[in-house]
Amino acid sequence: MQWTESVGLTLIFRDRTLIKLQTPSGDYLSFDVLDIFPFTSESKRMGIIFRDQSSGEIAFLQKGADVAMVNIVQRNDWLEEETGSMAREGLSALVVAKKMSQQSYQTFVSRGS
């Protein structure tokens, strides 16, 4: 919640199915929570799939330990350099966002999540 406020967003409401934010201009953003992936010690990551109510866009956000995330994101030198720097500073989390098409999400759901 502190992070959202630091970037000018205020969390208005959150439960397992809905997230509502308020922007600095007073507008409201609403997101339907489609799936939640809790943190586990095995995966060392957690994630959420949500749909923007105004645009219908679906996004998958995931965060986790650098050693877990490096293996599932597209390889690039910048990422390896940054995760190395973060690890040296005692930091261990990355956030990865990927927009999903409605068709990709339906395929995901049909496979049993």
- Mean pLDDT in consecutive groups of 10 residues from the start of the chain, 113 residues: 77 96 95 95 90 95 76 73 81 67 89 73
Q: Specify if 27 maps to a domain.
A: yes
Q: Is residue 113 part of a domain?
A: no
Q: Is residue 109 part of a domain?
A: no
Residues spanned by the domain of 91: 2-100
Q: Give the pLDDT score at 95.
A: 56
Q: What pTM did the predictor assign?
A: 0.75
pLDDT at 73: 72
Q: Within a domain: residue 39?
A: yes
For the chain, the domain total comes to 1
Give pLDDT, residue 65: 73
Residue 88 has what pLDDT? Answer: 85
Q: Report the C-alpha gap between 46 and 63 in whole angstroms.
A: 6
> What is the C-alpha separation between 112 and 68, in angstroms, rounded?
23
> What is the pLDDT, as a whole number, of residue 90?
82
Considering the domain boundaries, does residue 111 fall inside one? Answer: no
SS3 83: helix
**At 8, which CATH number?**
3.40.1110.10
Domain assignment present for residue 112? The answer is no
